[in-house]
Amino acid sequence: MVLVLLAALAPFVLPDPAAIPDAVAGATPPSASHPMGTDQLNRDLLSRVVNGGRISLSVAALAVLLSLTLGTLVGLVAGYAGGWVDAILMRGVDAALAIPRLFVLLLLLVVWERIPLGALIVVLGTTGWFATSRLVRGEVLRLRHEPFVLASEALGAPGWRTMTRHLLPNAAGPLLVAATLGVGDVILLEAGLSFLGLGVQPPTPSWGGMVLEARPLIVTAPWVALFPGAAIVATVLAVNLLGDALQAALDPRSA
């Protein structure tokens, strides 16, 4: 299993030369010189898919990193402080969770003229931390009154110290699993947004965008849409399997 997912992920980490468009020839099916064929502008599909992968993966990774940080922060504070701080924060989180993430993203992105990549990452990151915060909060609550935490407090350690050195490491396991699975979710989300025109903007390649552009050709040249989509499936599947493997390593009973 591990080998499969390594193989799936590796190509997207490798650098690849930029593709050169040639509008005249149009889309051609897979052949020896173009293993995935070419798209409607006769650009080599393989290199576009690979490039698109680099973009999609980096966007997803950075966004998840942001979500992780925000979620952990809020979760730690809410769980540790307790009382009305916790109540207010969690009320907010509950309400935020009620709005499907896609709609939040739509509302935020639809007003932009042209969405810069950085903004996309920030938006993705700031909409994905809610569930993480609940997770971290749960862990903190569980360990809140354990002897080692009380000892740290008794020694006069300030709240921050206790939180980061004692509580955080214990939540690391489930957090890692959630983060990995989160990457898969963000890849799908970003692809969807790009398909709607709200994600990565052309001519920067992105898988979702490629499927969008390939839509009119779906019957005459299906490979133009097939390959980018298959790439999404392979990557998300690989990431999810990785998350599962991590989950099994942490809690063998769930296998």
Kindly indicate which of the ranges 15-23, 41-49, 161-169, 211-219 contains the residues binding another protein, using the contact rule CB under 8 A.
Answer: 211-219
Distances 236 to 33, 133, 189 between C-alpha atoms, Å: 28, 23, 11
3 binds another protein (CB under 8 A): no
148 binds another protein (CB under 8 A): no
Q: What are phi and psi of 44, to 5 degrees?
A: -60, 120
179 binds another protein (CB under 8 A): no
| Start-end of H helices in 99-222 | 101-109, 117-126, 130-143, 147-154, 159-162, 168-195, 207-214
Cα separation, 110 vs 119, in Å, equals 12
4 binds another protein (CB under 8 A): no
146 binds another protein (CB under 8 A): no
100 vs 158, beta carbon nearer another protein? 100
Cα separation, 184 vs 239, in Å, equals 6
Among 18, 32, 154, 219, binds another protein (CB under 8 A): 219
- Per-residue binding string, another protein, 38-77, x by CB under 8 A, is ----------------------------------------
Segment (H or E) for 137: helix 130-143
Query: What torsion, rounded to 10 degrees, do the Cα atoms 7, 188, 196, 127 define?
Result: -130
CB-CB contact of 190 with 122 (8 Å) = no
Kindly indicate which of the ranges 54-62, 63-71, 158-166, 233-241 contains the residues binding another protein, using the contact rule CB under 8 A.
Answer: 233-241
240 binds another protein (CB under 8 A): yes
Residues binding another protein: what is the number (CB under 8 A)?
Answer: 47
Looking at 102-239, which runs of residues are DSSP E strands?
Answer: none
138 binds another protein (CB under 8 A): no
Residue 44, strand partner residues: 38
80 vs 195, beta carbon nearer another protein? 195
215 binds another protein (CB under 8 A): yes
SS3 annotation, 175-191: HHHHHHHHHHHHHHHHH
91 vs 142, beta carbon nearer another protein? 91
Binding site for another protein (CB under 8 A): 91-92, 94-96, 98-104, 106-113, 184, 188, 191-192, 195-198, 208, 211, 215, 218-219, 222, 225-226, 229, 232-237, 240-241, 253-254
